[in-house]
Chains A and B, each alone.
Chain A
């Protein structure tokens, strides 16, 4: 069985953390699930949210960002916008999440 791949894109800091929770929700449903925080800098995540991201990684998902500050604060893998675009090409499901 081939598992589906989904990528969530977050461009608003008020939607990023909950959107990551949605990404985790698909990972537990046996999908490869990814998130990418774009355009916005989010706060340093608390232990509970970091655990969610660790769970996502344990299921071969990942959270990326195009913003260096998010890599420094939360350890998200840094991508260029072009690299995000290339990732999108591999996805079955693409979700521009919440508000811009």
Chain B
């Protein structure tokens, strides 16, 4: 069985890599969880973001970062639910519960 993969994203300019890795990992039968923080929360407004949410098993963003980047927290990005507007605890889950760790 394929290993699971957790991805932590703090670089706002890596969405294409996140999508590329997620597609490749899913094609191998892997479970993928992604968490975006700080300026990388801008990625949630990218037109490719909803597709990434559909592809990965779990996508969440740091709601505090999203707010500090100037967004209204009631404006939930397409592909996410209110519950996925989360905290840094998601990063802890990625480290503890997933076989492999990748940061961008």
| Residues of A in contact with B (beta carbons under 8 Å apart) | 4, 6, 15, 18-19, 21-22, 24-26, 28-31, 92-99
Contacts and interface: CB of A to CB of B under 8 A. Distances in A.
Contacts, number: 57
A95 B38 CA distance: 14
User: How many interface residues does chain B have, given as a range?
Assistant: 10 to 19
Chain A contact residues, majority secondary structure: mixed
B65 interface: yes
B11 A26 contact: no
A15 B68 CA distance: 13
B91 to A, nearest CB: 6
B78 interface: no
A26 B38 contact: no
26 contacts: A4-B95, A4-B96, A15-B10, A18-B65, A18-B68, A19-B10, A21-B88, A22-B10, A22-B38, A22-B88, A25-B87, A25-B89, A25-B91, A26-B92, A26-B95, A28-B88, A29-B88, A29-B89, A31-B92, A95-B10, A95-B103, A96-B103, A98-B10, A98-B11, A99-B11, A99-B13
Contacts of B68: 18
Interface in B51-104: 65, 68, 87-89, 91-92, 95-96, 101, 103
B43 interface: no
A6 B38 contact: no
B95 A6 contact: yes
A95 B91 CA distance: 12
